[in-house]
Amino acid sequence: MSQLSFLCIATFLKGQEFMRTCKELGNTVYLLTDQKLANEDWPCEAIDEFFFLPSPSNAPEDLEKMIVGLSHMMRSRRIDRVVALDDFDVEKAALIRETFRIDGMGQTTARYFRDKLAMRTRAFEAGIRVPAFCPLFHDETVTAFLQTTESPWLIKPRSEASATGIRKVHSLEEAWSAIKLLGDNRFTYLIEEFKPGKVYHVDSLSVDGKAVFSRVSQYLATPMEVAHGGGVFRTATLPLDTPETTALRQINDQVLSAFGMRYSASHSEYIRGDHDGELYFLETSSRVGGANIAELVEASSGVNLWREWAKLEIAMAKKEHYVPPTDTAQYAGLIISLARHQWPDLSVFTESEIYWRMKKEYHVGLIVHSPDRARILSLLDEYMQRIYQEFHASMPLPDKPTS
């Protein structure tokens, strides 16, 4: 099969390099996206045809309309592979594959990369440490969990991305008050123990449940801290050959294998608890990391995860051997903040280590890279102080869950 047809699904503007690479390598590229994104900066030269969803909702009636529409589309067009380019599209892609019997991740496996309760249950069953957790289905079970574990706890939506919708509670009474506010949506949440610690992310390309390329980084300010405290987001890559990096790669391989990952890009998060020094699994996803982490990985390794993911998908579809990319083995750091000005002037940052500058309204962001990790950490500290003084604005998420 010399030419493949890819149906890419993206209800956020992302994955442009994935689509460009698919097209450059001689394949047909279709994009299924939200109607409101029709005029966004898509790589139109790489997309053979657009198809639009009237709504981003995953309601059953919307998904049924999507399937019916695709059934008409497929009468005259072949689809060989379906690729979800964002977290919120994983269910859609799995449903399409199951309905039309297209090879790739089905609905059961997709749950492990989308549903935080499914993730924790599967990891626990596989002997992988996870924070103590409990679904919110049964009142007595929830009360027993609160009485036998230590506060504070986090109430988390099972299918949101990043830190969206998370609430921290500190007593049994506060927990139940927050749970009752969830109303009929309560079953779509879980509760877990919150333990402070160092939080890491592992960004990988995997074949047969094992990473063939990965970059391990540590959050210096986690997405949750930034979302709820209005701070400055920072993360930096770890050295390639330390025991910490090795341990994180090992637990990452355990997670991907246990969850049934065949081949994909993935972004996974782990915490080393301050209370016991052990690594715990937090969450994973079957896509390239957001928040410009793909650019961070490229700055530190020379590897563009979007392009390599496309090459990996093509190789697997053609049953060819995938050759992992060469790693340039540098260090990199990323810093992002909301800004008080519409278009902040980033030209005031002049250091030679600057690799990337964010171009987004009311945001300031930089990536630096260097063969010296100490230099990266020093620059991130310096930039954090300058950003707070000259640029920073904050808009913390509300604590109250939405019903």
What pLDDT score was predicted for residue 162? 60
Mean pLDDT of 120-127: 98
What pLDDT score was predicted for residue 345? 94
Mean pLDDT of 272-291: 96
Q: Is residue 124 part of a domain?
A: no
Rounded Cα gap, residues 188 and 137, in angstroms: 9
With pLDDT > 90 as the criterion, what percentage of the chain qualifies? 88
Mean pLDDT of 227-252: 90
Whether residues 270 and 334 share a domain: the answer is yes
Last residue of a domain, one of 193, 219, 241: 193
What pLDDT score was predicted for residue 397? 53
- For residue 387, the number of C-alpha atoms closer than 13 Å in the C-beta half-sphere is 25
Whether residues 355 and 226 share a domain: the answer is yes
The tens digit of pLDDT for each residue in 61-93 reads 889 999 999 999 999 999 999 999 999 899 999
Question: pTM, whole model, 2 decimals?
Answer: 0.93
Last residue of a domain, one of 163, 178, 193: 193
In CATH, what number is assigned to the domain containing residue 86? 3.40.50.20
Last residue of a domain, one of 67, 88, 104: 104
What pLDDT score was predicted for residue 229? 63
Sign of CA dihedral 389, 395, 397, 400: positive
What CA–CA distances, in Å, run from 145 to 113, 126, 153, 176, 382?
Answer: 25, 21, 10, 12, 43
Q: Is residue 337 part of a domain?
A: yes
Whether residues 214 and 338 share a domain: the answer is yes
* Cβ atoms of residues 158 and 116 within 8 Å: yes
Whether residues 206 and 343 share a domain: the answer is yes
Residues in Cβ contact with 279 at an 8 Å cutoff, skipping those fewer than 6 apart: 129, 247, 248, 251, 270, 271, 272
What CA–CA distances, in Å, run from 205 to 118, 249, 313, 325, 352?
Answer: 22, 12, 10, 10, 30
Average pLDDT, the chain: 93
Number of structural domains found in the chain: 3
With a cut of 80, say whether residue 116 has pLDDT above it: yes
The tens digit of pLDDT for each residue in 341-366 reads 999 999 999 999 999 999 999 999 99
Closest by Cα among 310, 296, 292 to 359: 292
Whether residues 281 and 358 share a domain: the answer is yes
Who has greater pLDDT, 231 or 87? 87
- Which strands sit side by side in the sheet containing 81-84, from one edge to the other? 49-53, 28-34, 5-9, 81-84
Q: Provide the 10 A C-beta neighbour count for residue 170.
A: 11
Domain that holds residue 18: 5-104
With a cut of 60, say whether residue 400 has pLDDT above it: no
Whether residues 161 and 240 share a domain: the answer is no
The tens digit of pLDDT for each residue in 158-194 reads 987 666 789 999 999 999 999 999 999 999 999 999 9
| Residue 333 bridge partners (DSSP) | 236, 368
The tens digit of pLDDT for each residue in 4-59 reads 999 999 999 999 999 999 999 999 999 999 999 999 999 999 999 999 998 666 77
